[in-house]
Amino acid sequence: MAVMDATLPRARFARVDKSNGILGWLTTVDHKKIAIMYLFTTFFFFIVGGIMALLIRIQLAEPQNTFLTPEQYNQIFTMHGTTMIFLWIIPVWAGLGNYMVPLMIGARDMAFPRVNALSFWLIPLGGIVMYSGFLVPATTHAGLLCPGGPGDAGWTGYVPLTGAHYSCSMGQDLWIIGLHLLGISSMLGGINFLATIHNMRAKGMTWGRLPLFVWAQEITAALVVLASPFLASGLAMNLLDRQIGTNFFDPVNGGSALLYQFVFWFYSHPAVYIMVLPAFGIISEIIPVFSRKPIFGYKAMAASIAAIAVLGFIVFVHHMFVTGLPLVVQTFFAFTTFVIGVPTGVKIFSWLATMWGGSIKYDTPMLFACGFLLMFLIGGIDGVYLGSLAVDRLVHGTYWVVAHIHYVLFGGSVFGVFAAFYYWFPKVTGRFLNEKLGKLHFWLMFIGMNLTFLPMHALGLLGMPRRIATYLDNRGWGDINSLITFGAFVIAISITVFMINFVISMRAPKTAPDDPWEGNTLEWATSSPPPAWNFDEEQEVLSLRPVRDKRMARKKASAGAPA
């Protein structure tokens, strides 16, 4: 059991934190300040990705629309998907983890503070490199017009679409290099989380007393470290194919396009869990606190996260059912895909059992947690359909898949992120987000999300392919698409409400106490916001709910004290 170094001079942390000027922020190695920079940067990219989603939806609102050219459409949906995944969801969890993991385990910082700063700075750098593709001008290439612009081969960067023969713009190279930088950032972050959680837990915090959010970050970090090298190597080989004429993937030169898919999905299925396990973690913190009950089945909850992570490595071929692999291989991966539903079911059951009979308080964090449960359940179920070989042949590459990704990533990950924002806002800022606006935000987002993504299932069954820039009006897809576009704007309004709430709340006085929700875990044992050195005293942990233990002891003492 690792013990925190209690002798570390507080002055050192105070000095590190002294400067709040621009230079102080640019040079900080404090995990909390780094986390805040993570949160602002990734939220910025969320807005950019969201604006691109609206552009997509305006283009598709009616048949034969000419709002975007087909080339622009390809670029916009590529940059939308890539931004949402690599510049928003994955790094926003790294940001929240950065703030909270050291606090929740009673540590003073991350294990490698300077590496931590590097992880952060690689994100704006990767984003700038990727987005600079928008500046690449049109050229003539071997007598053909090359339209320029950023990457346009989808977030998956499939070969041959990214082969030099098909994707001539240098924007595609910038996309690859930018993504590479983002991959390095998350690898460094993953190593840092592992080192921190393994070595810097407070006295008494055994693995059996680790908060579930920290469990989720631990396993997410392991996935990042094990899986990201596959993305990195796929991207590197792709870049070599494009730039120096190697023949890994491009079939025109005798390479194997299927090989790219294997390498890519060996990373990208686990990446789905990199995006959603931390949401499982935060939901597992919020539901017990707002139900006033201990989490149901703690051990099963931790074990099921680990099981999902292991199984997550052997389901990836379900993305490739239509590539003509041997049937026995397909059947194996269909089977594993169904099996991964079991640990996921254990989690859903345990969350519901935690709420069962509890005195539930529907504050905004809890609303988002409940929204997560419902939406992620739909995303899980329409995913099981995709796991069936017969059904996948029908709906592969249609809007059914777009519906599925968004129920998982928007209904799951994004709802989880907002649950975390509302839950931890008082800890980070010393202020509350306004409850009325928070509830308005929730309901608009919940309704907008279902208006947008539920009808996409129908579009998929009607045969509308994904990644098409427009469609003929005799298809009968127009009305559903108009409804979807309306829903997208409802989501946009909900996010605007959140931003207004943020601005208003930041101007309000600091009234949040240390432990506003009557929490369980150590981040509530220090002040709101915490001092640079995190804790005035060294923490000792005797159970899964150390802060509740102390609160109960205090209540008992004051009840027993003579009046």
Burial level of 229, CB count in 10 A (0-12/13-18/19+)? middle
DSSP letter (8 states) at residue 530: P
Judged by CB under 6 A, which of 50, 133, 460, 530 binds ligand HEM?
50
Q: Of the ranges 18-26, 128-136, 265-273, 430-438, which one interacts with Cu ion (CB under 5 A)? A: 265-273
Name, in order, each residue with C-beta under 8 angstroms of 405's C-beta and a sequence gap of 6 or more: none
Minimum Å gap between C-beta 216 and ligand HEM is: 17
The label of the residue with tokens 């929490």 reads 519
Q: Applying CB under 6 A, does 231 fall inside the site for ligand HEM?
A: no
Question: CB nearest Cu ion: which residue?
Answer: 269
Judged by CB under 5 A, which of 242, 269, 404, 457 binds Cu ion?
269
Q: Of the ranges 75-83, 129-137, 205-213, 554-562, which one interacts with ligand HEM (CB under 6 A)? A: 75-83
CB 321 within 8 Å of CB 330? yes
* Inter-CA distances, 464 with 80, 396, 398, 482, Å: 20, 11, 6, 14
355 binds, among ligand HEM, Cu ion, none (CB under 5 to 8 A by kind): none
Minimum Å gap between C-beta 409 and Cu ion is: 12
Name, in order, each residue with C-beta under 8 angstroms of 260's C-beta and a sequence gap of 6 or more: 158, 159, 234, 237, 238, 248, 249
269 binds, among ligand HEM, Cu ion, none (CB under 5 to 8 A by kind): Cu ion
Q: Applying CB under 6 A, does 412 fall inside the site for ligand HEM?
A: no
Minimum Å gap between C-beta 477 and ligand HEM is: 12
DSSP conformation letters of 259-302: HHHHHHHHHHHHHHHHHHHHHHHHHHHHHHHHHTSPPTTHHHHH
- How many whole angstroms separate alpha carbon 286 and alpha carbon 423? 8
Judged by CB under 6 A, which of 24, 70, 154, 294 binds ligand HEM?
154
42 binds, among ligand HEM, Cu ion, none (CB under 5 to 8 A by kind): none
Minimum Å gap between C-beta 269 and Cu ion is: 4
Closer residue to Cu ion (CB): 111 or 272: 272
- CA nearest to 204, candidates 548, 554, 545, 533: 545
Q: Of the ranges 80-88, 470-478, 503-511, 531-539, which one interacts with ligand HEM (CB under 6 A)? A: 80-88
SS3 392: helix
Closer residue to ligand HEM (CB): 77 or 321: 77
Over 428-479, what HEC string results? Answer: HHCCCCCHHHHHHHHHHHHHHHHHHHHHHHHHHHCCCECCCCCCCHHHCCHH
Closer residue to Cu ion (CB): 73 or 273: 273
- How many whole angstroms separate alpha carbon 249 and alpha carbon 247? 6
Judged by CB under 6 A, which of 410, 422, 423, 524 binds ligand HEM?
410
Closer residue to Cu ion (CB): 108 or 404: 404
Size of the site for ligand HEM (CB under 6 A): 27
Closer residue to ligand HEM (CB): 3 or 493: 493
DSSP letter (8 states) at residue 150: B
Minimum Å gap between C-beta 270 and Cu ion is: 9
Q: Of the ranges 20-28, 212-220, 262-270, 380-388, which one interacts with Cu ion (CB under 5 A)? A: 262-270
Q: Applying CB under 6 A, does 89 fall inside the site for ligand HEM?
A: yes
* H or E stretch covering 144: strand 144-146
Closer residue to Cu ion (CB): 269 or 548: 269
Name, in order, each residue with C-beta under 8 angstroms of 533's C-beta and a sequence gap of 6 or more: 8, 10, 13, 14, 108
Judged by CB under 6 A, which of 402, 420, 428, 541 binds ligand HEM?
402
Question: CB nearest ligand HEM: which residue?
Answer: 81
Sort strands 144-146 and 139-141 into parallel, antiparallel or unpaired: antiparallel
SS3 214: helix
Burial level of 357, CB count in 10 A (0-12/13-18/19+)? exposed
Minimum Å gap between C-beta 56 and ligand HEM is: 5
CB 210 within 8 Å of CB 105? yes
DSSP letter (8 states) at residue 252: G
Minimum Å gap between C-beta 313 and ligand HEM is: 20
Minimum Å gap between C-beta 312 and Cu ion is: 8
Minimum Å gap between C-beta 189 and Cu ion is: 22
Judged by CB under 6 A, which of 4, 56, 110, 307 binds ligand HEM?
56
Please calculate the CA angle 393-395-399 and round it to the nearest 5 degrees: 155
* Window 454 to 483, contacts with ligand HEM (CB under 6 A): 466-467
431 binds, among Cu ion, ligand HEM, none (CB under 5 to 8 A by kind): none
Q: Of the ranges 74-82, 88-96, 254-262, 269-277, which one interacts with Cu ion (CB under 5 A)? A: 269-277
Length of the chain measured in residues: 563
- How many whole angstroms separate alpha carbon 346 and alpha carbon 327? 30
Minimum Å gap between C-beta 273 and Cu ion is: 9
Binding site for ligand HEM (CB under 6 A): 50, 53, 56-57, 77-78, 80-81, 84-85, 88-89, 154-156, 402, 405-406, 409-410, 413-414, 452, 466-467, 488, 491
Instruction: Provide the binding-site residues for Cu ion, judged by CB under 5 A.
Output: 269
